[in-house]
Structure 1
Amino acid sequence: MSLFHWIDFPPLGDERGSLVALEANKTIPFEIKRVYYIFGTKEGVSRGFHAHSDLKQVAVCVTGSCRMVLNNGKQKEAVWLDSPTKGLLIEEMVWREMHEFSLDCVLLVMASEYYDESDYIRSYDEFIQKVGE
């Protein structure tokens, strides 16, 4: 069983270029309550290192690439995000780490909930304890 699901975003466009439309409850399988993007990540820097109790996310590498490592406490998978037409659906209670950002990486993330610090699990030991309950 996979820790994530890919979502294909069909590109629209013509000879002028391409466009991808992202719509809540259609191309994105939840109501989008927060959008943010990560960019300008310095060489050798890794990010993430947390899980969420309830929040779901879809991550899209709009440009460049990065490697996402996902872990549910029993299984660990790594996947490359490197296409603006593929989204990575990450469910709740999955530890996530982002590594090997290309210098031009722009990682767009859509979240099912507003920012809530109490939803974050920032300690890996605490995460392992919670998934074992």
Structure 2
Amino acid sequence: MKESSVYDCTIIELDKHHSDRKGNITVVENYDTIPFEVKRTYYLYDIPGGESRGGHAHKELSQLIVSASGSFTVALDDGNVKRVFVLNRPYQGLYVVPGIWRTLDDFSSGAVCLVLASHEYDEQDYIRDYNEFIIYKENGSK
């Protein structure tokens, strides 16, 4: 696996199609809108005030994180550099590459976090302890 950095993670503008009478629609397509095939989709909602989600990294999985409703922050950490993104537009997604620690915080009331993932759920792909993550990164992400 390529050594990853928070600078490999970026906001992707998703196509937004607007109709004054019918509202908006945003489309996400594999390998066109996003650089991977979606194999798993899930969403987080009803997050109590003050709670955090995430707090882990993935070895192989890529994600597109979208604020389908409301807002929240995503803190990314590659072991050396940290970046924080505020997600609050349903036509933007945060592309997160493998090997990045992520934490989601500051959920607004009614926020819905939509996540499109490149792999099906695999517990072996998770790094859930930050110290283990640092060791993983120091060892060249092997």
| Aligned residue pair count | 133
TM-score by length of 1: 0.97
What amino acid is aligned across from residue 128 of structure 1 in structure 2? I
What amino acid is aligned across from residue 61 of structure 1 in structure 2? S
1:6 aligns with 2:18: no
Task: Check conservation: 1:65, 1:82, Cα contact below 8 A.
Answer: yes
Task: Check conservation: 1:3, 1:72, Cα contact below 8 A.
Answer: no
Tell me the C-alpha RMSD between the 2 structures. Answer: 1.0
SS at match of 2:64: strand
Displacement after TM superposition at 1:6 (Å)? 1.0
1:111 aligns with 2:117: yes
**Once superposed, which parts of structure 1, at least 4 consecutive aligned residues long, lie more than 6 Å away?**
none
Task: Check conservation: 1:51, 1:121, Cα contact below 8 A.
Answer: yes
State the Cα deviation string for residues 61-112 of structure 1 (Å, max 9, x = none).
0110001000000101111011001110000000000110011110000000
SS at match of 1:130: helix
TM-score by length of 2: 0.91
1:95 aligns with 2:101: yes
SS at match of 1:61: strand
After TM superposition, list the pairs within 5 Å mapping 1:24-43 onto structure 2. Answer: 24-43=30-49
SS at match of 1:60: strand
Please name the residue that 1:69 is paired with: 75
Please name the residue that 1:23 is paired with: 29
Percent of residue pairs bearing the same amino acid type: 38
SS at match of 1:2: helix
